[in-house]
Chain A
Amino acid sequence: MSKLEEAIGIANPQHPQCATILVLDTSGSMAGGNIKQLNEGLKSFKEDVLSDELARKRVDLAIISFGEGVNIVSDFSSAETMPDVALEASGSTPMGDALLMAMDMIEQRKRDYKDKGIDYYRPWIFMITDGEPTDMDYGDPKWNDVAQKVKDGERNSKFMFFAVGVDNANMKKLQAIAPPERPPLKLQEGKFKEMFTWLSKSAQKTSNTKIGEQVPLDNPTGPQGWGSVPTN
Protein backbone atom coordinates (compact mmCIF):
# COMPACT_ATOMS: atom_id res chain seq x y z
CA MET A 1 0.00 0.00 0.00
CA SER A 2 1.42 3.40 -0.92
CA LYS A 3 2.18 5.87 1.83
CA LEU A 4 -0.63 8.21 0.83
CA GLU A 5 -3.14 5.44 0.29
CA GLU A 6 -2.60 4.40 3.87
CA ALA A 7 -2.82 7.93 5.22
CA ILE A 8 -5.94 9.26 3.52
CA GLY A 9 -9.58 8.78 4.42
CA ILE A 10 -12.47 8.67 1.95
CA ALA A 11 -15.05 11.46 2.29
CA ASN A 12 -18.03 9.38 1.16
CA PRO A 13 -17.18 5.76 1.75
CA GLN A 14 -20.78 4.73 1.23
CA HIS A 15 -21.40 3.02 -2.05
CA PRO A 16 -24.21 4.26 -4.28
CA GLN A 17 -27.30 2.23 -3.54
CA CYS A 18 -29.69 0.36 -5.81
CA ALA A 19 -32.91 -0.02 -3.82
CA THR A 20 -34.76 -3.13 -4.95
CA ILE A 21 -38.11 -4.25 -3.57
CA LEU A 22 -39.42 -7.71 -4.31
CA VAL A 23 -43.21 -7.71 -4.01
CA LEU A 24 -44.18 -11.36 -3.75
CA ASP A 25 -47.55 -13.03 -3.96
CA THR A 26 -47.92 -15.51 -1.08
CA SER A 27 -51.65 -16.12 -1.51
CA GLY A 28 -53.07 -19.59 -0.91
CA SER A 29 -52.87 -20.54 -4.57
CA MET A 30 -49.06 -20.23 -4.46
CA ALA A 31 -48.93 -23.20 -2.08
CA GLY A 32 -46.93 -26.23 -3.16
CA GLY A 33 -44.41 -26.05 -5.99
CA ASN A 34 -44.59 -22.30 -6.58
CA ILE A 35 -43.86 -21.18 -3.04
CA LYS A 36 -41.08 -23.75 -2.81
CA GLN A 37 -39.50 -22.47 -6.02
CA LEU A 38 -39.95 -18.89 -4.85
CA ASN A 39 -38.08 -19.61 -1.61
CA GLU A 40 -35.33 -21.45 -3.47
CA GLY A 41 -35.12 -18.61 -5.99
CA LEU A 42 -34.74 -16.03 -3.22
CA LYS A 43 -31.95 -18.05 -1.67
CA SER A 44 -29.98 -18.34 -4.90
CA PHE A 45 -30.66 -14.66 -5.68
CA LYS A 46 -29.08 -13.68 -2.37
CA GLU A 47 -26.09 -15.94 -3.01
CA ASP A 48 -25.58 -14.50 -6.50
CA VAL A 49 -25.68 -10.92 -5.23
CA LEU A 50 -23.22 -11.80 -2.46
CA SER A 51 -20.80 -13.29 -4.97
CA ASP A 52 -20.42 -9.96 -6.81
CA GLU A 53 -18.08 -7.58 -5.03
CA LEU A 54 -19.91 -4.39 -5.99
CA ALA A 55 -23.46 -5.76 -5.98
CA ARG A 56 -23.06 -6.98 -2.40
CA LYS A 57 -22.29 -3.43 -1.33
CA ARG A 58 -24.77 -1.64 -3.57
CA VAL A 59 -27.95 -3.69 -3.83
CA ASP A 60 -30.30 -2.53 -1.06
CA LEU A 61 -32.96 -5.19 -0.84
CA ALA A 62 -36.42 -5.31 0.72
CA ILE A 63 -39.10 -7.99 0.47
CA ILE A 64 -42.86 -7.45 0.79
CA SER A 65 -45.29 -10.35 0.72
CA PHE A 66 -49.01 -10.15 0.01
CA GLY A 67 -51.35 -12.99 0.93
CA GLU A 68 -52.45 -13.21 4.54
CA GLY A 69 -52.23 -9.40 4.68
CA VAL A 70 -49.35 -7.27 3.41
CA ASN A 71 -46.11 -7.81 5.30
CA ILE A 72 -42.61 -6.42 5.18
CA VAL A 73 -40.77 -9.73 5.26
CA SER A 74 -37.42 -7.97 5.24
CA ASP A 75 -36.87 -4.20 5.31
CA PHE A 76 -34.11 -2.58 3.23
CA SER A 77 -30.72 -4.11 3.90
CA SER A 78 -27.68 -5.36 2.04
CA ALA A 79 -27.68 -8.99 0.95
CA GLU A 80 -25.05 -9.55 3.64
CA THR A 81 -27.36 -8.60 6.48
CA MET A 82 -30.63 -9.78 4.97
CA PRO A 83 -32.04 -12.69 6.98
CA ASP A 84 -32.92 -15.96 5.27
CA VAL A 85 -36.61 -16.00 4.55
CA ALA A 86 -39.09 -18.85 4.25
CA LEU A 87 -42.35 -17.66 2.78
CA GLU A 88 -45.58 -19.54 3.40
CA ALA A 89 -48.63 -19.42 1.17
CA SER A 90 -52.07 -18.50 2.50
CA GLY A 91 -54.76 -15.85 2.18
CA SER A 92 -55.94 -13.75 -0.75
CA THR A 93 -54.15 -11.32 -3.09
CA PRO A 94 -54.02 -7.76 -1.66
CA MET A 95 -51.80 -6.57 -4.51
CA GLY A 96 -53.02 -2.95 -4.43
CA ASP A 97 -51.94 -2.40 -0.83
CA ALA A 98 -48.64 -4.19 -1.46
CA LEU A 99 -47.82 -1.92 -4.40
CA LEU A 100 -48.78 1.23 -2.50
CA MET A 101 -46.53 0.12 0.34
CA ALA A 102 -43.64 -0.64 -2.03
CA MET A 103 -43.87 2.76 -3.70
CA ASP A 104 -44.00 4.52 -0.30
CA MET A 105 -40.99 2.57 0.92
CA ILE A 106 -39.02 3.52 -2.19
CA GLU A 107 -39.74 7.23 -1.69
CA GLN A 108 -38.82 7.04 1.99
CA ARG A 109 -35.61 5.18 1.18
CA LYS A 110 -34.62 7.84 -1.34
CA ARG A 111 -35.18 10.52 1.30
CA ASP A 112 -32.91 8.58 3.68
CA TYR A 113 -30.21 8.39 1.01
CA LYS A 114 -30.45 12.11 0.36
CA ASP A 115 -30.20 12.95 4.06
CA LYS A 116 -27.07 10.86 4.36
CA GLY A 117 -25.53 12.16 1.14
CA ILE A 118 -25.64 8.71 -0.48
CA ASP A 119 -25.93 8.52 -4.26
CA TYR A 120 -28.44 6.10 -5.71
CA TYR A 121 -29.48 4.32 -8.87
CA ARG A 122 -33.05 4.26 -10.04
CA PRO A 123 -34.82 1.81 -7.72
CA TRP A 124 -36.52 -1.38 -8.85
CA ILE A 125 -39.92 -2.77 -7.93
CA PHE A 126 -40.17 -6.41 -8.95
CA MET A 127 -43.55 -8.06 -8.44
CA ILE A 128 -44.38 -11.74 -8.85
CA THR A 129 -47.99 -12.98 -8.73
CA ASP A 130 -50.06 -15.96 -9.77
CA GLY A 131 -53.44 -14.30 -9.53
CA GLU A 132 -55.20 -10.97 -9.66
CA PRO A 133 -55.76 -8.31 -7.02
CA THR A 134 -58.50 -9.03 -4.50
CA ASP A 135 -58.33 -5.65 -2.77
CA MET A 136 -59.24 -3.59 -5.83
CA ASP A 137 -60.94 -4.08 -9.12
CA TYR A 138 -60.47 -2.64 -12.56
CA GLY A 139 -61.72 0.95 -12.62
CA ASP A 140 -62.46 1.43 -8.92
CA PRO A 141 -60.82 4.40 -7.15
CA LYS A 142 -58.11 2.32 -5.52
CA TRP A 143 -57.26 0.59 -8.80
CA ASN A 144 -57.00 3.96 -10.54
CA ASP A 145 -54.79 5.29 -7.75
CA VAL A 146 -52.41 2.31 -7.83
CA ALA A 147 -52.22 2.10 -11.63
CA GLN A 148 -51.66 5.85 -11.95
CA LYS A 149 -48.89 5.84 -9.33
CA VAL A 150 -47.13 2.93 -11.05
CA LYS A 151 -47.32 4.61 -14.44
CA ASP A 152 -46.28 8.03 -13.13
CA GLY A 153 -43.41 6.50 -11.16
CA GLU A 154 -42.07 4.74 -14.23
CA ARG A 155 -42.57 7.76 -16.48
CA ASN A 156 -40.93 10.19 -14.05
CA SER A 157 -37.97 7.85 -13.52
CA LYS A 158 -38.84 7.37 -9.85
CA PHE A 159 -38.43 3.61 -10.20
CA MET A 160 -38.55 0.77 -12.69
CA PHE A 161 -41.55 -1.49 -12.37
CA PHE A 162 -41.43 -5.14 -13.39
CA ALA A 163 -44.43 -7.45 -13.09
CA VAL A 164 -44.20 -11.19 -13.61
CA GLY A 165 -47.22 -13.45 -13.88
CA VAL A 166 -47.00 -17.10 -12.83
CA ASP A 167 -49.35 -19.92 -13.94
CA ASN A 168 -52.90 -18.59 -14.03
CA ALA A 169 -52.04 -14.98 -13.32
CA ASN A 170 -54.50 -12.57 -14.87
CA MET A 171 -52.16 -11.05 -17.44
CA LYS A 172 -54.78 -8.62 -18.73
CA LYS A 173 -55.14 -7.05 -15.32
CA LEU A 174 -51.39 -7.00 -14.82
CA GLN A 175 -51.07 -5.27 -18.15
CA ALA A 176 -53.52 -2.61 -17.02
CA ILE A 177 -51.46 -1.93 -13.89
CA ALA A 178 -47.98 -2.08 -15.44
CA PRO A 179 -46.60 0.90 -17.34
CA PRO A 180 -46.96 0.57 -21.13
CA GLU A 181 -43.17 1.04 -21.47
CA ARG A 182 -42.60 -2.17 -19.52
CA PRO A 183 -45.40 -4.67 -20.02
CA PRO A 184 -45.73 -7.62 -17.63
CA LEU A 185 -43.98 -10.88 -18.45
CA LYS A 186 -45.37 -14.36 -18.15
CA LEU A 187 -43.03 -16.73 -16.37
CA GLN A 188 -42.37 -19.84 -18.44
CA GLU A 189 -43.31 -22.90 -16.48
CA GLY A 190 -40.91 -23.76 -13.69
CA LYS A 191 -38.37 -21.09 -14.64
CA PHE A 192 -38.18 -19.40 -11.23
CA LYS A 193 -34.47 -20.09 -10.98
CA GLU A 194 -33.75 -18.57 -14.40
CA MET A 195 -35.80 -15.51 -13.47
CA PHE A 196 -33.89 -14.93 -10.23
CA THR A 197 -30.58 -15.47 -12.01
CA TRP A 198 -31.62 -12.78 -14.50
CA LEU A 199 -32.61 -10.49 -11.63
CA SER A 200 -29.29 -10.89 -9.83
CA LYS A 201 -27.36 -10.46 -13.09
CA SER A 202 -29.29 -7.26 -13.81
CA ALA A 203 -28.60 -6.01 -10.29
CA GLN A 204 -24.92 -6.80 -10.75
CA LYS A 205 -24.83 -5.02 -14.09
CA THR A 206 -26.49 -1.96 -12.58
CA SER A 207 -24.10 -1.92 -9.61
CA ASN A 208 -21.15 -1.96 -11.97
CA THR A 209 -22.15 1.14 -13.92
CA LYS A 210 -21.91 4.79 -13.12
CA ILE A 211 -25.09 6.45 -11.95
CA GLY A 212 -26.94 7.91 -14.91
CA GLU A 213 -25.53 5.44 -17.41
CA GLN A 214 -27.89 3.25 -19.38
CA VAL A 215 -27.74 -0.42 -18.40
CA PRO A 216 -28.48 -2.86 -21.20
CA LEU A 217 -30.30 -5.79 -19.60
CA ASP A 218 -30.42 -9.28 -21.03
CA ASN A 219 -33.68 -9.89 -22.81
CA PRO A 220 -35.82 -12.02 -20.47
CA THR A 221 -37.93 -13.16 -23.40
CA GLY A 222 -34.98 -14.24 -25.56
CA PRO A 223 -34.15 -17.89 -26.34
CA GLN A 224 -32.17 -18.18 -23.07
CA GLY A 225 -34.83 -16.22 -21.18
CA TRP A 226 -37.48 -17.16 -18.67
CA GLY A 227 -40.44 -15.03 -19.65
CA SER A 228 -42.73 -14.36 -22.52
CA VAL A 229 -44.83 -11.35 -23.44
CA PRO A 230 -48.52 -12.22 -23.53
CA THR A 231 -49.95 -11.43 -26.91
CA ASN A 232 -53.61 -11.81 -26.13
Chain B
Amino acid sequence: MKKGLNPPYIFGCPVIGPSHSRLGIPCQDACAYDVFEDVGLIAVADGLGSASRSDIGSRQAVTAAIETAKMLLKKDGNGDRSLAELVKGMLYFAREQVEEAAKREGCELRDLATTLITAAFDGSSVSIAHIGDGAVVAKTGRGLLLASTPEESEYANEVVPLTSSTWNEHLYVRSIEDVSLLAIFTDGCQKAALKKSPQGYEPFDGFFFPIFSYAKEIEDIKNANGEIEALLSSGKINEHSDDDKTLVIAVLKMRDNPANEHINSI
Protein backbone atom coordinates (compact mmCIF):
# COMPACT_ATOMS: atom_id res chain seq x y z
CA MET B 1 0.00 0.00 0.00
CA LYS B 2 1.21 3.49 -0.81
CA LYS B 3 2.62 5.33 2.15
CA GLY B 4 2.06 8.97 2.89
CA LEU B 5 -0.81 11.31 3.67
CA ASN B 6 -3.77 11.94 1.44
CA PRO B 7 -3.60 15.32 -0.29
CA PRO B 8 -4.44 18.07 0.15
CA TYR B 9 -2.21 18.88 3.10
CA ILE B 10 0.06 21.72 4.17
CA PHE B 11 3.12 21.91 6.40
CA GLY B 12 6.00 24.23 7.22
CA CYS B 13 6.96 26.83 9.81
CA PRO B 14 8.87 30.04 10.50
CA VAL B 15 12.32 29.86 12.08
CA ILE B 16 14.11 32.72 13.81
CA GLY B 17 17.32 33.86 12.11
CA PRO B 18 20.68 33.77 13.92
CA SER B 19 21.00 37.57 13.84
CA HIS B 20 17.66 37.99 15.61
CA SER B 21 18.30 35.31 18.22
CA ARG B 22 21.74 36.80 18.88
CA LEU B 23 20.22 40.24 19.55
CA GLY B 24 17.22 38.93 21.47
CA ILE B 25 14.80 40.20 18.80
CA PRO B 26 11.67 38.06 18.32
CA CYS B 27 11.08 36.16 15.08
CA GLN B 28 9.39 38.60 12.69
CA ASP B 29 8.23 35.96 10.22
CA ALA B 30 4.87 34.30 10.70
CA CYS B 31 2.69 31.82 8.87
CA ALA B 32 -0.74 30.24 9.22
CA TYR B 33 -2.51 27.64 7.12
CA ASP B 34 -5.45 25.30 7.10
CA VAL B 35 -7.47 23.09 4.82
CA PHE B 36 -11.07 24.20 5.20
CA GLU B 37 -13.91 22.52 3.28
CA ASP B 38 -11.35 21.07 0.86
CA VAL B 39 -9.90 24.51 0.16
CA GLY B 40 -6.27 24.96 1.14
CA LEU B 41 -5.48 28.31 2.75
CA ILE B 42 -2.00 29.72 3.38
CA ALA B 43 -0.70 33.06 4.67
CA VAL B 44 2.99 33.91 5.02
CA ALA B 45 4.27 37.23 6.37
CA ASP B 46 7.65 38.80 6.94
CA GLY B 47 7.70 41.65 9.46
CA LEU B 48 10.10 44.37 8.34
CA GLY B 49 13.36 44.59 10.24
CA SER B 50 13.05 48.38 10.25
CA ALA B 51 9.68 48.29 12.07
CA SER B 52 9.93 48.04 15.83
CA ARG B 53 6.98 45.70 16.41
CA SER B 54 6.68 43.95 13.10
CA ASP B 55 6.47 40.56 14.84
CA ILE B 56 2.99 41.60 16.01
CA GLY B 57 2.12 42.86 12.52
CA SER B 58 3.12 39.65 10.76
CA ARG B 59 1.33 37.40 13.26
CA GLN B 60 -1.81 39.51 13.13
CA ALA B 61 -1.76 39.52 9.32
CA VAL B 62 -1.54 35.75 8.89
CA THR B 63 -4.11 34.97 11.58
CA ALA B 64 -6.56 37.48 10.15
CA ALA B 65 -6.03 36.20 6.60
CA ILE B 66 -6.90 32.61 7.49
CA GLU B 67 -9.87 33.54 9.71
CA THR B 68 -11.29 35.75 6.96
CA ALA B 69 -10.95 33.03 4.37
CA LYS B 70 -12.86 30.58 6.53
CA MET B 71 -15.58 33.13 7.17
CA LEU B 72 -15.91 33.88 3.47
CA LEU B 73 -15.99 30.19 2.57
CA LYS B 74 -18.70 29.53 5.17
CA LYS B 75 -20.76 32.40 3.82
CA ASP B 76 -20.46 31.18 0.24
CA GLY B 77 -21.51 27.68 1.13
CA ASN B 78 -21.03 25.41 -1.84
CA GLY B 79 -21.78 28.09 -4.37
CA ASP B 80 -19.40 29.52 -6.89
CA ARG B 81 -16.28 30.66 -5.22
CA SER B 82 -13.59 32.65 -6.89
CA LEU B 83 -10.20 31.83 -5.45
CA ALA B 84 -8.80 35.11 -6.74
CA GLU B 85 -11.46 37.07 -4.86
CA LEU B 86 -10.81 34.93 -1.81
CA VAL B 87 -7.06 35.64 -1.66
CA LYS B 88 -7.65 39.35 -2.21
CA GLY B 89 -10.24 39.32 0.56
CA MET B 90 -7.71 37.63 2.87
CA LEU B 91 -5.24 40.38 2.17
CA TYR B 92 -7.69 43.27 2.55
CA PHE B 93 -8.98 41.93 5.83
CA ALA B 94 -5.48 41.26 7.10
CA ARG B 95 -4.62 44.90 6.41
CA GLU B 96 -7.71 46.01 8.39
CA GLN B 97 -6.78 43.80 11.28
CA VAL B 98 -3.21 45.09 11.36
CA GLU B 99 -4.68 48.61 11.55
CA GLU B 100 -6.81 47.46 14.48
CA ALA B 101 -3.78 45.92 16.13
CA ALA B 102 -1.90 49.22 15.83
CA LYS B 103 -4.78 51.01 17.62
CA ARG B 104 -4.90 48.32 20.27
CA GLU B 105 -1.14 48.45 20.84
CA GLY B 106 -1.15 52.24 20.78
CA CYS B 107 1.50 52.42 18.09
CA GLU B 108 1.82 53.68 14.54
CA LEU B 109 0.72 51.43 11.71
CA ARG B 110 4.23 51.55 10.26
CA ASP B 111 5.60 50.04 13.49
CA LEU B 112 3.79 46.85 12.48
CA ALA B 113 5.03 46.89 8.88
CA THR B 114 4.92 43.46 7.26
CA THR B 115 4.80 41.78 3.86
CA LEU B 116 2.03 39.28 3.15
CA ILE B 117 1.45 36.45 0.71
CA THR B 118 -1.95 34.75 0.72
CA ALA B 119 -2.76 31.65 -1.29
CA ALA B 120 -5.83 29.46 -1.72
CA PHE B 121 -6.24 26.25 -3.69
CA ASP B 122 -9.08 24.02 -4.66
CA GLY B 123 -8.09 20.82 -6.42
CA SER B 124 -5.17 21.87 -8.59
CA SER B 125 -6.32 25.49 -9.09
CA VAL B 126 -4.37 28.08 -7.15
CA SER B 127 -4.72 31.82 -6.57
CA ILE B 128 -2.11 34.01 -4.95
CA ALA B 129 -2.12 37.59 -3.66
CA HIS B 130 1.23 39.09 -2.80
CA ILE B 131 2.52 42.34 -1.36
CA GLY B 132 6.25 42.83 -0.69
CA ASP B 133 9.08 40.33 -1.00
CA GLY B 134 9.16 36.57 -0.57
CA ALA B 135 8.00 34.29 -3.38
CA VAL B 136 5.75 31.44 -4.48
CA VAL B 137 6.94 28.48 -6.54
CA ALA B 138 4.50 25.99 -8.05
CA LYS B 139 5.07 22.59 -9.59
CA THR B 140 2.79 22.28 -12.60
CA GLY B 141 2.55 19.84 -15.47
CA ARG B 142 5.16 21.92 -17.23
CA GLY B 143 7.71 21.94 -14.43
CA LEU B 144 8.63 24.46 -11.79
CA LEU B 145 7.05 27.86 -12.12
CA LEU B 146 7.88 31.04 -10.26
CA ALA B 147 4.26 31.90 -9.56
CA SER B 148 4.96 35.12 -7.70
CA THR B 149 8.28 36.94 -7.52
CA PRO B 150 9.72 39.26 -4.91
CA GLU B 151 8.88 42.81 -5.85
CA GLU B 152 12.08 44.32 -7.21
CA SER B 153 13.29 47.62 -5.88
CA GLU B 154 16.43 49.49 -6.79
CA TYR B 155 18.06 48.95 -3.43
CA ALA B 156 18.15 45.88 -1.27
CA ASN B 157 15.99 46.08 1.87
CA GLU B 158 13.44 48.43 0.33
CA VAL B 159 10.05 46.84 0.24
CA VAL B 160 6.50 48.19 0.03
CA PRO B 161 4.68 46.53 2.94
CA LEU B 162 1.02 45.79 3.56
CA THR B 163 0.95 48.76 5.92
CA SER B 164 2.06 51.28 3.28
CA SER B 165 -0.51 53.81 2.08
CA THR B 166 0.29 52.79 -1.51
CA TRP B 167 0.10 49.04 -0.89
CA ASN B 168 -2.83 48.72 -3.29
CA GLU B 169 -0.67 49.80 -6.23
CA HIS B 170 1.86 47.09 -5.43
CA LEU B 171 -0.61 44.25 -4.97
CA TYR B 172 0.04 41.29 -7.26
CA VAL B 173 -2.67 38.68 -7.90
CA ARG B 174 -2.29 35.59 -10.02
CA SER B 175 -4.22 32.39 -10.67
CA ILE B 176 -2.70 29.20 -12.04
CA GLU B 177 -4.03 25.78 -12.96
CA ASP B 178 -2.64 22.29 -12.98
CA VAL B 179 -0.62 22.69 -9.79
CA SER B 180 0.50 19.63 -7.83
CA LEU B 181 2.81 21.24 -5.29
CA LEU B 182 3.24 24.72 -3.90
CA ALA B 183 6.02 26.38 -1.89
CA ILE B 184 5.63 29.78 -0.25
CA PHE B 185 8.62 31.36 1.47
CA THR B 186 10.00 34.59 2.88
CA ASP B 187 13.10 36.38 1.60
CA GLY B 188 15.35 34.61 4.10
CA CYS B 189 15.04 31.52 1.88
CA GLN B 190 15.51 33.38 -1.37
CA LYS B 191 19.25 32.84 -1.84
CA ALA B 192 18.79 29.11 -1.47
CA ALA B 193 15.58 28.74 -3.46
CA LEU B 194 15.80 31.19 -6.37
CA LYS B 195 18.50 31.36 -8.98
CA LYS B 196 19.41 34.92 -9.79
CA SER B 197 20.49 35.88 -13.28
CA PRO B 198 20.63 39.18 -15.16
CA GLN B 199 17.19 38.25 -16.57
CA GLY B 200 15.65 37.86 -13.12
CA TYR B 201 14.81 35.03 -10.75
CA GLU B 202 13.96 31.43 -11.49
CA PRO B 203 13.17 28.51 -9.17
CA PHE B 204 16.20 26.35 -8.40
CA ASP B 205 15.65 22.64 -9.16
CA GLY B 206 18.34 21.61 -6.68
CA PHE B 207 16.35 23.17 -3.87
CA PHE B 208 12.78 22.28 -4.83
CA PHE B 209 13.12 18.75 -6.20
CA PRO B 210 14.33 17.23 -2.90
CA ILE B 211 11.80 19.23 -0.88
CA PHE B 212 8.85 18.38 -3.11
CA SER B 213 9.85 14.69 -3.22
CA TYR B 214 9.98 14.69 0.54
CA ALA B 215 6.65 16.53 0.78
CA LYS B 216 4.84 13.80 -1.13
CA GLU B 217 6.18 11.07 1.14
CA ILE B 218 5.55 12.50 4.58
CA GLU B 219 3.43 10.48 6.96
CA ASP B 220 3.10 12.95 9.77
CA ILE B 221 2.72 16.73 9.67
CA LYS B 222 4.43 17.26 13.02
CA ASN B 223 7.55 15.38 11.96
CA ALA B 224 7.56 17.20 8.64
CA ASN B 225 7.42 20.55 10.43
CA GLY B 226 10.38 19.40 12.49
CA GLU B 227 12.25 18.57 9.32
CA ILE B 228 11.54 22.01 7.81
CA GLU B 229 12.58 23.64 11.07
CA ALA B 230 15.86 21.67 11.04
CA LEU B 231 16.47 22.65 7.43
CA LEU B 232 15.80 26.35 7.98
CA SER B 233 18.06 26.46 11.03
CA SER B 234 20.83 24.45 9.38
CA GLY B 235 24.32 25.75 8.74
CA LYS B 236 23.87 25.23 5.01
CA ILE B 237 20.98 27.70 4.88
CA ASN B 238 22.21 30.10 7.55
CA GLU B 239 25.53 30.56 5.82
CA HIS B 240 23.69 32.57 3.19
CA SER B 241 21.14 34.46 5.27
CA ASP B 242 20.97 35.22 8.95
CA ASP B 243 17.43 36.57 8.54
CA ASP B 244 14.26 34.84 9.78
CA LYS B 245 13.03 32.19 7.36
CA THR B 246 9.65 30.68 6.59
CA LEU B 247 8.87 27.85 4.21
CA VAL B 248 5.37 26.44 3.75
CA ILE B 249 4.70 23.52 1.41
CA ALA B 250 1.33 22.34 0.11
CA VAL B 251 0.61 19.05 -1.61
CA LEU B 252 -2.49 19.51 -3.74
CA LYS B 253 -5.08 17.00 -4.78
CA MET B 254 -4.93 16.36 -8.48
CA ARG B 255 -8.10 15.43 -10.29
CA ASP B 256 -8.43 11.74 -11.14
CA ASN B 257 -7.15 12.15 -14.62
CA PRO B 258 -4.61 9.60 -15.83
CA ALA B 259 -3.08 12.28 -18.04
CA ASN B 260 -2.05 14.09 -14.89
CA GLU B 261 -0.32 11.15 -13.29
CA HIS B 262 3.13 12.16 -14.42
CA ILE B 263 2.71 15.43 -12.60
CA ASN B 264 2.72 13.73 -9.25
CA SER B 265 6.01 12.02 -9.95
CA ILE B 266 8.92 14.38 -10.08
Q: Which residues of A contact B (CB under 8 A)?
A: 1-5, 7-13, 15, 114-115, 117, 119, 210-213
Q: Would you call B204 and A11 a contact (CB within 8 A)?
A: yes
Q: Which of A2, A4, A7, A210 contacts B156, CB < 8 Å?
A: A210
B83 sits at the interface (CB 8 A): no
B195 sits at the interface (CB 8 A): yes
With A8-B211, A212-B156 in contact, do A3 and B227 touch (Cβ < 8 Å)? yes
Q: How far is the CB of A30 from the nearest CB of chain B, in Å?
A: 39
Q: Would you call B210 and A13 a contact (CB within 8 A)?
A: no
Q: Which of A2, A12, A119 contacts B230, CB < 8 Å?
A: A2
Q: How far is the CB of B204 from the nearest CB of chain A, in Å?
A: 3
B residues 208-242 in Cβ contact with A at 8 Å: 210-211, 214, 227-228, 230-231, 234-237, 240, 242
Q: How far is the CB of A206 from the nearest CB of chain B, in Å?
A: 14
B133 sits at the interface (CB 8 A): no
B243 sits at the interface (CB 8 A): yes
With A10-B192, A210-B157 in contact, do A4 and B198 touch (Cβ < 8 Å)? no
With A3-B214, A213-B157 in contact, do A11 and B231 touch (Cβ < 8 Å)? no
Closest residue of A by beta carbon distance from B206: A9
Beyond contacts A4-B228, A8-B236, A12-B240: 5 other A-B pairs, Cβ-Cβ < 8 A, are A2-B231, A3-B214, A4-B211, A11-B192, A117-B195
Residues from chain A with Cβ under 8 Å of B231 in the complex: 2, 4-5, 8
Q: How far is the CB of A11 from the nearest CB of chain B, in Å?
A: 3
With A2-B227, A210-B156, A212-B157 in contact, do A12 and B195 touch (Cβ < 8 Å)? yes
B196 sits at the interface (CB 8 A): yes
Interface string of B167-211 (1 = CB under 8 A from A): 000000000000000000000000111111110000010110011
Residues from chain A with Cβ under 8 Å of B204 in the complex: 9-11
Q: Which of B191, B227, B230 contacts A11, CB < 8 Å?
A: B191
Q: Would you call B230 and A5 a contact (CB within 8 A)?
A: yes
Q: How far is the CA of A82 from the CA of B163 in the complex (A)?
A: 47
Q: Would you call A7 and B210 a contact (CB within 8 A)?
A: yes
Q: Would you call A12 and B236 a contact (CB within 8 A)?
A: no
